[in-house]
Amino acid sequence: MKVIVVTGASSGIGYQMASYLGQKGHHVYGISRSKLHDKYVKSIQADVTELEQLKTAYQDIFDLEGRIDVVINNAGMGISGAIEDTTTEDASYLMNVNFMGVFHSTKVALPFLRKSGGGKIINISSVAGRLAIPFQAFYSSSKAAINAFSEALQNEVSPLGIQVCAVMPGDIKTGFTKNRKKNALDSECYKNRIEKSVGVMENDERNGMDPMVAAKVIYRLVQQKRMPLYKTIGFKYKVFVFLQKLLPASLVNALVGMIYAFKKEK
């Protein structure tokens, strides 16, 4: 039995993985802004953008359990639209949730993981962190930042007995699709292309993997003795990530553009 903390646990893959881990006998605490109702997960309301709230949440968990073994940084959101039309406020907020939220949770959790004799940090990234998606630039950027953060963190904390893994799921069927924030206005030169691009994204997501697939992958990472630095979820996405390493960057970017950018449209 491990004591596991999951951020962004009230919906989507966060909810699925938290509940599944709880069903497997682990003591799971779900941190989210809204109340989580699941008999296998103890809900704690806190916002990952608020460092002091996380300090209180982690301290309460440690005081109750006497240890923290695994932290899963999952909280996140998406924005779609052209870079030119994205407001500074929206871009800053996304980066605050998706990236700074991971930093805040990690920063607060590390002393407790050390006191517990080591542990695991699992950061939920995305294949979009490796293959940047047009009209979803800030989401892709935040996930690329999580990847870099995870690499640096692994080298910093491995001597302390703490392992780090960045998990990169492909398209998963969750409420993330309907909750994605769209730019309030689209410039005429992008408008039709954005509609087509977002349509492709949303269709892929609606027909994506069941979130239980991700939950089972996370469960195996929690159980195994040593985690990889990266874990891609979904066979075809593993192929995409593998090809991204082999092919020239300009070619890979052009291929992504063919799928999502609709560059030839006038």
List 80, 105, 125, 142, catalytic entry: 125
- Look up tokens 């195994």; give the residue: 224
pLDDT in tens, 157-197: 999 999 999 999 998 887 666 667 888 888 999 989 999 99
Is 10 a known active-site residue? Answer: yes
Residue 256 lies in a domain: yes
Q: Is residue 174 part of a domain?
A: yes
197 classed as catalytic? no
Chain mean position to CA 33: 16
Active site (annotated) includes residue 143: yes
- Residue 258 phi/psi, 5-degree rounding, is -65, -30
Assess contact for 7 and 13: CB atoms under 8 A.
Answer: no
Spatial distance between the Cα atoms of 16 and 214, rounded to a whole number of angstroms: 8
Write down the catalytic residue from 2, 42, 120, 143. 143
- Domain assignment present for residue 224? The answer is yes
Q: Find residue 162's DSSP bridge partners.
A: 119
Of the chain, the percentage scoring pLDDT greater than 90 comes to 79
Question: Which position among 20, 29, 139, 260 bears the catalytic label?
Answer: 139
In total, the chain counts a number of residues equal to 266
Distance CA 31, CA 240 (A): 32
**What pTM, to 2 d.p., does this model score?**
0.93
* Start-to-end Cα distance in the chain: 58
Residue 247 falls within a domain, yes or no? yes
158 part of the active site: no
Is beta strand 79-80 parallel, antiparallel or unpaired with respect to 230-233?
unpaired
pLDDT at 176: 65
Which domain CATH number covers 228?
Answer: 3.40.50.720
Instruction: With cut-offs at 50, 70 and 90, classify the pLDDT of residue 203.
Output: confident
Alpha-carbon distances, residue 113 vs 54, 131, 199 (angstroms): 15, 32, 42
Are 150 and 164 a contacting pair, CB within 8 Å? yes
Q: Is residue 47 part of a domain?
A: yes
- Domain count within the chain: 1
Annotate 134-164 with three-state secondary structure.
Answer: CCCHHHHHHHHHHHHHHHHHHHHHHHHCEEE
> Would 266 be classed as within a structural domain?
no
Give 108-140 pLDDT, tens digit per residue.
999 999 999 999 999 999 999 999 999 999 999
Give the domain extent around 84: 3-260
